Copies of this chain bind each other. A is one copy, B any other.
């Protein structure tokens, strides 16, 4: 997966958005603790906005629209570092999550369930009440 680096990706100044139809997956990590907070996507516009504002902007594949994380809740993600992978088709954001919870379900991380031989188990504790942040649904 890293071979393309040798053929010129180091010269690119943006990730390879063409490879998968205009989107790249983005891993978002707590800059202080290293916890993975979420996985989302960016299109080229979201990438540019993230660089310009230093707050995370994604592309919502369900709403098919730009998604500035925290635009509803105020819980934006301050971007501390941006990385790209070897073949330039994935992004890593290291962030400070305002409000403490990246997940709409009120957990710090969207990855709050673990999988073992007995199935899926919630292994994290809710840190905020989703209804307080987003209102009743």
Residues in chain A within 8 A of chain B (CB atoms)? 1-3, 5, 10, 12-13, 25, 27, 29, 33-36, 38-40, 51, 60, 62, 81-87, 90, 92, 103-105, 107, 110-116, 119-120, 123, 137
Instruction: List the 7 closest A-B pairs by CB distance, nearest first.
Output: A34-B34, A2-B104, A39-B90, A85-B110, A83-B111, A82-B115, A86-B110
Residue numbers in B under 8 Å from A111 (CB-CB): 83-85, 90, 92
Residue numbers in B under 8 Å from A123 (CB-CB): 83
Q: Which of B85, B105, B112 is the one whose CB lies under 8 Å from A39?
A: B85
Query: Contact: A62 with B1, CB < 8 Å?
Result: yes
Which B-chain residue is minimally distant from A24 (CB atoms)? B39
Residue numbers in B under 8 Å from A34 (CB-CB): 29, 33-35
Which B-chain residue is minimally distant from A38 (CB atoms)? B85
